[in-house]
Amino acid sequence: MLRAWQDVVVKWRLLPDDHPADLRDADQHSHRGRSALVGGRLDEALAEFEAAASLRPDPLDRVGVGDVFLARGAWGLAEENYRAALNAGGVGALMAQIGLALVQTGRGNAAGAVADLELLVADRPDDPTLRYYLASAWFSAAEQCRARTADDTLVITSETQLRVCEDAGRRILALEPGDEELRKGAERLLAEVAAGRRWTWSPEGIAVSLAVLTVALGMITVVAGGLLSNVLVVLVGVLAGAVLLYAIVSRFRRQTWRRRAAELAPDIVRRGV
């Protein structure tokens, strides 16, 4: 699935807003198709774009048809029309490249879309439309990489997922896509990563009790060795206490994301990456 409906239509910002007064029939169909697409009237948009395409070989008409299929989740038909527009060059080809990246996202390969869009942004780093699409793809990549429970809760269950979410949050903020939802989403991602990296005891009561007991036993052994003037007993107390304390920390100290992943493991229906 795509992140948001607006991802289908934002690419049309790449075209100039001013239109000549004396539009030809094909141009009229195309502009009516664009208006219908933005308004969510997909049947009307498809009819208008196809009418325009029957009158001229303009890649923008194929992009419009591809957008209708994209909005309907018909990834194969969308890809077919975007590829038809790709060979024409110009802004139509650029829009087709964006469309193909969206098809990848829709098919569950947002990471591939990120790679392709990073190349486009590298060529046109100041283009706000391309930055928006790259930021959106990063957000989708962070969503797709995480595990998902039966009630649609996203859960970080691996170091790779943690890293992708952090990279996504930082990249989105750096891109400054001009979208409040993306900005807040990036901040939530970074907050989730920071919370996930915090260390905690699991189970807390048992771990703390064992740690206190180990320290107490170690101190008792050291004190007893001192009272007996037995250096060996003191050394045994110190070493045994250190080893036991290390074992307790290794066994019971966990980063929060690992603890949450273990708690939700029975409910996970999609593992992520």
What's the structural domain count of the chain? 2
User: Is 157 domain-assigned?
Assistant: no
d(CA 83, CA 103): 11
Query: Is 118 in contact with 97 (CB distance < 8 Å)?
Result: no
> DSSP class of residue 271?
-
User: Is 146 domain-assigned?
Assistant: no
Which H or E run includes 200? strand 199-201
Q: What is the pLDDT of residues 79-129, one digit of tens each?
A: 999 999 998 778 999 999 999 999 999 999 999 999 999 999 999 999 999
User: Is 166 domain-assigned?
Assistant: no
d(CA 88, CA 94): 10
Q: Cα 111 from chain centroid?
A: 8
Tokens of 28: 């009229």
Whole-number pLDDT of residue 21: 45
Spell 124-159 as b/e; 16+ CB within 10 A means b. eeebebbbbbbbbbbbbbbbbbbbbeeeeebbbbbe
d(CA 97, CA 68): 16
Q: What is the pLDDT of residues 227-240, one digit of tens each?
A: 666 566 556 555 65
User: Among 78, 107, 136, which residue terminates a domain?
Assistant: 107
Whole-number pLDDT of residue 22: 46
Domain extent at residue 30 = 6-107
User: Among 107, 132, 166, which residue terminates a domain?
Assistant: 107
User: Among 50, 76, 107, which residue terminates a domain?
Assistant: 107
Whole-number pLDDT of residue 236: 56
Please state whether the predicted TM-score (pTM) of the whole model is above 0.75: yes
Q: Is 21 helix (H, G, I), strand (E, B) or coil?
A: coil
d(CA 120, CA 190): 25
- First and final CA of the chain: distance in angstroms? 17
DSSP string, 145-170: HSEEETT--EE--SHHHHHHHHHHHH
d(CA 155, CA 144): 11
